[in-house]
Chains A and B, each alone.
Chain A
Amino acid sequence: MSLSRWLALGAALLLAIALAVSVGTVTVPLREVFSVFTDDASPLAEQVVWQLRLPRAVLAACVGAGLGLAGAALQGALRNALAEPYLLGVSGGAAVGGVVAYAVGLTALGLLPVAAFLGALAAVSVVVAIARVAGGRADARLLVMSGVVVGAGANAAVMVALANVPPDRARGALWWMMGSAADATWPQVGWLVVYLVPTMLWLWRDGRTLDVLALGDEPAAALGADVASASRRVFLLASLVAAATVAAAGLVGFVGLVVPHLSRSLGARVHRVLLPASALVGATVVVLADIIARTVASPADIPLGAVTALVGVPFFLLRIRRVTT
C-alpha cells in the first residue's frame, strides 16, 4: 500500500472523529471543535466536546480498530474468509457474562464490563481446550468448529438467563447486547487504550507468521511455522482484543468480518500491512456508524451493532457478487 493511501486512511479517521464531535443535537461548528483545545471555546461547546462526544468518538474508534485488526488476524490464521471474533465464541461468552451481570444486579456496581470480559475469556478458553483435546495438533478447522459450537451453547444460555430476568433488567441487557458507545468516559477510554495497544502490537509482530499460516497447514509447516501453536496464539490474542471491545461497547457485529475484506480491496495484501490498515478502516467505520446511531432517531440512540450490521450486510453482498461473477 502506498504512503498516500496510508495518509488518506489516517485523514479519513481524523475527519470522521471531527465530524462525530461536531454533529448532534447541539451542533458544534468544526471551527469551534478545534478551539476546545486552545481554551477559547464556549463553556457549552467545551462540555459537549470534552465530556460527551470526544470520549465517545475515541471509544468508538478503539472498538473499531480492535475488531478490524482481530478479524484480519483470525481470517489469516484460520484461513477462513468468514472468521471473525464473534463467530468464534467471544460474543457468546461476553453476552452470557453481561446478562448474568444484569440478572444479579452487578450492573449497579459498574461491573458490567468486567463480567462481559470474564465471560468472553471463559468461552475462548473452552474453545481452545476443546480444539486441543479433539486433535493433537489443533488445526484451524477444529478452532472454527469448536468456536461455533461454544457460541451456540452460549446463545442458549443467554436465552435461558433472559427468560428469568425481570423485564426492566432484560431490556437493559438486550440493549447492551446490541452494542453502544453512549456511556463512554475518559477513564474507560484510557483503560481500553492501555489494554489494546500492546495486544495489537503483539499480533502485528506475528504478521509474517500470519502470511505463512494463510498458505495452509502443509506449506506453513514446510516454511518452518509451528502451525498448531501459532494458530492458537493468534486466536487467543485476537479473542482478547475482541473481548475488551465487547466489555467497552457491547456487541458491535460485522466489523470484524467486513473490515478486513474492505482493507484487502484497498490493497493491503500482507498481514504486516493488513493488520494496521484494518485497524484504521475499522476505527473509521465504527466512528461513522456511531454518528448514524445517535443522529438518525435523534435525540434517541439506535443500537450501534444494528447500524454496523445494516451497513455491513449490503457491503458483504456486493463482495459476494464480485467474487462469483
Chain B
Amino acid sequence: MIRFEGVRVRYGAVEAVRGVDFEAPAGRLTALVGPNGSGKSSCVRALLARDATAGGDVWLGTTRVASLAERARARCVAVVPQRETPAFPMPVREFVALGRFPWDDAAPVTARHVDAALDRAGALSVADRSTDAVSGGEWQRVRMARALAQDTPAIVLDEPTAFLDIAHEMAAFELLRALADEGRAVLVVTHQLNLVARFADTVVLLHDGRVAASGTPDVVMTGPTLERVYGWPIVVSRDPAVGAPMLIPLRSSRTPTSG
C-alpha cells in the first residue's frame, strides 16, 4: 500500500504539491489524474525522495519512505518515471535485467526471468534489439518490462501509455489491471481518462497541487467536476459496453480558463 499524507513539494518559490492525501491500496488500481502542472509527477518524485518534500510523508505500508535506504525502497516499489533516455544504448535484455539491481545480493538474474517480464509487457519481439533501435511505443513497453522484472509489491507508472497506439494502450491497462488483481498496489499517472474510467478502482483527481476529488470513477468523473478542474466543457456519457463513465470533451470557441 502506498499512502500520501499531507505531502508538499516546493521548487524554489513555486509550490507544486500543496498538501496531498490519498492512498493506493494493495490489490487495487489507483489512477492519479489531473491537468498539466497539477502536481502528478511531483508526487511521484516525492515517492522517490528526489526532492526534499516541504512537508508530509509518503508511506509504503507501515514504513516511511524517507526512512528507507534506496535499495530497500526499490525492493518495495518499482517506479517507471515519465521520461528516460539512457546515455548510451544497451541491449534490451540487459536493460530489463537492471530491474533486478535492487535484489543484486539475493537471487541471480536469470534469462527466463527477463524474458518472462518482456513477454508480459508485450515486448518480447524486441528482446534482441538495442535500446536505441526501438520505437517510442516499444520503449514504453520495455521500460514496463523492467519494472515487472523488479517484482515489487507496489508499482508506480508515470504516463506509461504515452506514445502507445490504441491496441497497446488497451494491453497496457489490461496488464495494470492484472497486476492489481494479483494483489499489488498499482498507481498510474495518466491523461487517458476514458481508460481510467473503465479500468481503475479509484481515481484521485489533482488540481493546482491539491486533491480536487477522489473515489470511484463514477464519483469523480462528473461533468461539473471535470469541467471545473480542466477548464473545458466536458460531457459525461456512459460506455454502452461496461457502463463506465465516458468522457466527451466538447468543441468550443472559448479558450481554456485555466491550465
> Are the chains A and B members of one assembly?
yes
Chain A interface (Cβ < 8 Å from any Cβ of B): 75-76, 79-81, 136, 208-209, 211-212, 214-219, 221-226, 264, 269-270
Kindly provide the distance from the CB of A16 to the nearest chain B CB, expressed in whole angstroms. Answer: 26
Cα of A218 to Cα of B80 in the assembled complex, Å = 9
Additional pairs, 17, CB under 8 Å, beyond known A76-B88, A214-B86: A76-B87, A214-B88, A218-B83, A221-B50, A222-B48, A222-B74, A222-B79, A222-B80, A223-B99, A224-B73, A224-B74, A224-B102, A225-B70, A225-B101, A226-B70, A264-B88, A269-B88
- CB distance B88 to A216 under 8 Å? no
What distance in Å separates the Cβ of A274 from its nearest Cβ neighbour in chain B? 9
Which B residues from 67 to 97 make CB contacts under 8 A with A? 69-75, 78-81, 83-91, 94
Tell yes or no: B104 within 8 A of A by CB: yes
Q: How far is the CA of A217 from the CA of B98 in the complex (A)?
A: 15
B190 within 8 Å of A (CB atoms): no
Of B45, B70, B90, B104, which one neighbours A270 at CB under 8 angstroms? Answer: B90
A218 touches B101 (CB 8 A): no
**Bound Cα distance A270, B79 (Å):** 22
Please tell me if B150 contacts chain A, counting CB pairs below 8 Å.
Answer: yes
| B45 with A218: CB separation less than 8 A | yes
Measured CB to CB, the closest approach of chain B to A87, in angstroms, equals 15
A74 → chain B, closest Cβ, in Å? 11
Q: In the bound complex, do residue A80 and residue B87 qualify as a contact, i.e. CB atoms below 8 Å apart?
A: yes
B69 contact set on A, CB distance < 8 A:
226
Secondary structure class of chain B's binding surface, majority of residues: mixed
**Chain A residue contacts of B72, Cβ below 8 A:** 224
Chain A residues within an 8 Å CB radius of B102: 223-224
Are B50 and A218 in contact (CB-based, < 8 A)? yes
Given A211-B94, A218-B50, A222-B80, is A81 in contact with B87 using a C-beta cutoff of 8 Å? Answer: yes
* Complex CA distance for A100 and B147, rounded to whole angstroms: 53
- B81 cross-chain contacts in A, Cβ below 8 A: 218-219, 222
User: B50's closest neighbor in chain A, by CB?
Assistant: A221
B85 touches which of A216, A221, A222 (Cβ 8 Å) = A216
**A107→B109 CA distance, assembly (Å):** 53
State the CA gap A223–B72 with chains docked (Å): 10
**Nearest A-chain residue to B52, judged by Cβ:** A136
Q: A222-B74, A224-B102 are in contact. Are A216 and B87 (CB under 8 A)?
A: yes
A223 & B98 in contact (Cβ 8 Å cutoff): yes
A residues near B87, Cβ cutoff 8 Å: 75-76, 79-81, 214-216
A-B contact pairs, 30 of them (CB 8 A): A75-B87, A76-B87, A76-B88, A79-B87, A81-B87, A136-B52, A208-B101, A208-B104, A209-B101, A211-B98, A211-B101, A214-B86, A214-B87, A215-B84, A216-B86, A217-B50, A218-B45, A218-B48, A218-B81, A219-B84, A221-B49, A221-B70, A222-B79, A223-B74, A224-B73, A224-B74, A224-B101, A225-B101, A226-B69, A226-B70
Q: Which residues of A contact B80 (CB under 8 A)?
A: 222
CA–CA, A80 to B157, complex, Å? 27
Give chain B interface residues in 144-196, CB to chain A under 8 Å.
150
A75 adjacent to B50 (CB under 8 Å): no
Whether the Cβ atoms of A269 and B94 lie closer than 8 Å is yes
Whether A215 pairs with B74 at a CB distance below 8 angstroms is no
CB proximity to A under 8 Å, residues B106-121: none
